Amino acid sequence: MKKTAAALCLTCGVAFGSALTAQTPAKTDKVDIVAVTGCLRENPANTWTLVNATDPSPSNANAPSPKEIASAAKAGKNEFRLIGVAEFNLPAHRDHTVIVKGLHIKATPTSRLNVTSVTMVAPSCEAAPKGPVLH
């Protein structure tokens, strides 16, 4: 009888704990995986940024497909600091246009990308697009 009561109490506790978990609101601090195209720069040493970068677009963590590479915009107006870069050979892509995929960490003054892939799009960088001409 003691074993049955203990098992019943354990079952009640699991059910009660599950009910509490189900009622707890989900945390909304989600970090999105994005793809960004821009010019890879190093300044100062071992500090990597993506300049003249496009707006982040939803993506996955994998390297871009040939279709994504072919359709990548070449320049934008954003800047991102790149983190988690030790696994990537960034010096080989210095001053190249690249697609960087990673976790987008929004911050002021400069957002960061925790890198999951780097793919070269072009062996040079394009100038940032000019804004509207004010008269």
pLDDT tens for each residue of 56-106:
999 988 888 888 888 887 789 999 999 999 999 999 999 999 999 999 999
- What residue ranges define each of the domains in the chain, with the CATH number in brackets? 33-122 (2.40.50)
> Cβ of 86: how many Cβ atoms within 10 Å?
8
- Tell me the HSE value of 28 on the side-chain side, using a 13 A CA sphere: 1
Q: pLDDT grade, residue 39 (50/70/90)?
A: very high
- Tell me the HSE value of 52 on the side-chain side, using a 13 A CA sphere: 19
- Measured distance CA(50)–CA(29) in Å, rounded: 24
